[in-house]
C-alpha cells in the first residue's frame, strides 16, 4: 500500500475509522470542524502523532501520520511492516503489553506515558498519550490506535554502531 497521498485520498477510510472510534470511545473529537474529505489529509499532516496497529498475535503497524514516521525515523513501507512492539525498547515492552491489555478491556486510556525508540535507536519519552480500540461499523475490533502531542528526546544523538 502506498503512503497517504492525494491519489489514495490520504487513506480516508482508515482515518475515518480512527476518528469515529476515538470519538465514540472518548466522547471527544481528535480533530474538529473538518469535512470528511479533508480529515484524512489533516491527520496525515498533523503536528501530533497518530498511529495504529492490527489485531495480529504480534500486531503490525497499519498507519502512521507524517509525525509518526518522522519520530520513528521510518518511511511508510518500513513503518507499516514493523511489529508495533518494536516501537518500545525490550525493557519497556512488558509495560506496553499491560497498557494494550487495559485498553482492550476498557476501550481506551488517556494518560499513558512511556519511552519509545526510533529505528536509529533514538529514545524519546511520550506524555499523556491516548490509546484506543479501533472498532468497525459491525462492532468488530480491528486494532488499536494512539495519539499524543508531547514528547521529549532523551538522547542528544542516536547511538553509533
User: Sorting pLDDT into bands at 50, 70 and 90, what band is 127?
Assistant: very high
Per CATH, domain 6-110+130-150 is 3.30.450.20: yes
For the chain, which residues make up each domain, given as ranges? 6-110+130-150
In the predicted model, is pLDDT for residue 160 greater than 60?
Answer: no
Give the model's pLDDT for residue 5: 94
pLDDT tens, residue by residue, 38-55: 999 999 999 999 999 999
Contact of 145 with 134, CB cutoff 8 Å: yes
User: Sorting pLDDT into bands at 50, 70 and 90, what band is 36?
Assistant: confident
Q: State the pTM of this model.
A: 0.90
Exposure b/e, 77-88, CB count within 10 A at least 16 = b: eebbebebbbbb
- Could you tell me the CA-to-CA distances from 16 to 94, 127, 152 in Å, in that order? 30, 25, 29
| Exposed/middle/buried for residue 138 (C-beta within 10 Å: 0-12, 13-18, 19+) | exposed
pLDDT tens, residue by residue, 83-109: 999 998 877 777 777 888 888 889 999
Comparison of pLDDT for 34 and 143, the residue scoring more: 143
Torsion of Cα atoms, 122 then 126 then 129 then 131, to 10°: 30
Q: How many other CB atoms sit within 10 Å of the CB of residue 16?
A: 14
Q: Read off the C-alpha cell for 45.
A: 499532516
Amino acid at each position: 500500500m502506498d503512503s497517504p497521498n492525494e491519489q489514495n485520498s490520504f487513506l480516508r477510510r482508515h482515518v475515518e475509522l480512527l476518528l469515529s472510534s476515538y470519538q465514540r470511545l472518548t466522547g471527544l473529537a481528535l480533530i474538529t470542524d473538518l469535512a470528511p474529505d479533508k480529515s484524512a489529509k489533516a491527520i496525515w499532516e498533523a503536528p501530533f502523532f497518530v498511529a495504529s496497529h492490527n489485531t495480529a498475535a504480534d500486531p503490525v503497524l497499519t498507519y502512521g501520520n507524517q509525525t509518526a514516521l518522522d519520530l520513528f525515523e521510518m518511511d511508510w513501507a518500513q513503518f507499516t511492516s514493523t511489529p508495533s512492539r518494536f516501537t518500545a525498547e525490550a525493557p519497556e515492552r512488558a509495560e506496553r503489553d499491560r497498557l494494550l491489555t487495559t485498553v482492550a478491556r476498557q476501550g481506551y486510556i488517556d494518560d499513558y506515558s512511556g519511552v519509545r525508540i526510533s529505528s536509529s535507536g533514538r529514545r524519546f519519552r511520550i506524555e499523556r498519550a491516548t490509546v484506543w480500540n479501533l472498532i468497525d461499523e459491525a462492532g468488530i475490533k480491528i486494532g488499536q490506535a494512539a495519539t499524543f502531542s508531547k514528547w521529549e528526546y532523551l538522547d542528544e544523538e542516536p547511538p553509533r554502531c
